[in-house]
Amino acid sequence: MRMRIVVTRRIPEAALAVLREAGEVWLPEADRALEPDELRKAVDGAAAVVSMLHDRIDGPVADAAGPGLRVVANVAVGYDNIDVPALAERNVLVTNTPGVLTDATADLTFSLLLALTRRIGEGDRLLRAREPWSFHLGFMLGSGLQGKTLGIIGLGGIGTAVARRARAFGMNIVYSGRSRSAAETELDARFVSREELLTTADVVSLHCPLTPQTRHLIDAEALGAMKNTAYLINTTRGPVVDEAALADALRRGEIAGAGLDVFEKEPEVEPRLLDLDNVVLTPHLGSATVETRTEMALLAARNVAAVLAGEAPLNPVRG
């Protein structure tokens, strides 16, 4: 009897082909996030689960799958949606998809930064509203990047890729994190405390994982420490930022603007942010290129195939 592989939401056909070689694939009929009770029912008897970042995979879900569950392959770099210790207790491996989305996410990060500092969203809305306008030297002035300081919280793979793009635009780099980066010399980057980064950076870009320690890392106090001319960019995980505090800070002019690709209660967005011109919002598009999403799904499928074949996974998550 072939092993059951549950895929919680549709993925590219190339990845499904890999999975079908490894076992019997189950897909939900509707292409939407499964409700918790639907997820527990779907995984019954599964040897492998291919999960998305909106799926909460914990002990009860693993128990619903039964003792035959061997691997959960998360189609994401982050795995805050998975209770890794609970699965480890049940001898279930967890894998993720690092590396393949680095450049796509870095591109999106810099797109948000440019859209924000050059007021691209505002200009687009102005024209679409058919408002009268004319060119003059004070019209819709933005902010240049040359000589400005980019502060990166979390100089890992994506943070490093963002820093490389920033250097090409003539920006200076400071960063903070749990340890110093091997890319420090290449980037001519300076390692500083988070407190110094917040008070000196012209742009703060977040690239740290979501953990209990980083939840609401950017809160009212952190926002208050930033320059009133500074911008905040978040392409990591929504709950790293206290969205209510951010809305307050933007309304009070404590910072100049924000670019967000992820949200605290995704897919919901803090309503007050939607009314602000100095905010650029995108619906979790960091990895959203055909090439990147296909490679993410393929990597997850290859992790599943390896485990079900009795081999070591390509990208194990260490709990």
- HSE, CB side, 13 Å, CA atoms: give it for residue 5: 27
Q: Single out the catalytic residue among 10, 90, 215, 284.
A: 284
Estimate to the nearest angstrom the gap between the alpha carbon of 253 and the chain centroid. 26
- DSSP sequence for 22-78: HSEEE--SSSSPPPHHHHHHHTTT-SEEEE-TT--B-HHHHHHH-TT--EEEESSS-
Among candidates 44, 42, 37, which has minimal Cα distance to 7? 42
Round to whole Å and give the CA distance between 316 and 303.
8
Whether 196 is a known active-site residue: answer no
Contacts of 169 (CB under 8 A, 6+ apart): 145, 146
Distance, CA of 228 to CA of 219 (rounded, Å): 15
What's the CA gap between 49 and 9, in Å, rounded?
11
Of the listed 24, 122, 184, 266, which one is catalytic?
266
Catalytic residue among 119, 237, 293, 302: 237
Helix (H, G, I), strand (E, B) or coil at 174: strand
207 tagged catalytic? no
3-class secondary-structure state, position 177? coil
Give which of 201, 196, 257, 250 is closest to 231, Cα–Cα: 257
Tell me the C-alpha distance between 167 and 260, whole Å.
22
Bridge partners, 204 (sequence order): 151, 232
284 is catalytic: yes
32, exposed or middle or buried, with CB in 10 Å at 0-12, 13-18, 19+? Answer: exposed
| Of the candidates 217, 232, 236, 283, the residue with the CA atom closest to the CA atom of residue 106 | 236
Enzyme catalytic residues: 237, 266, 284
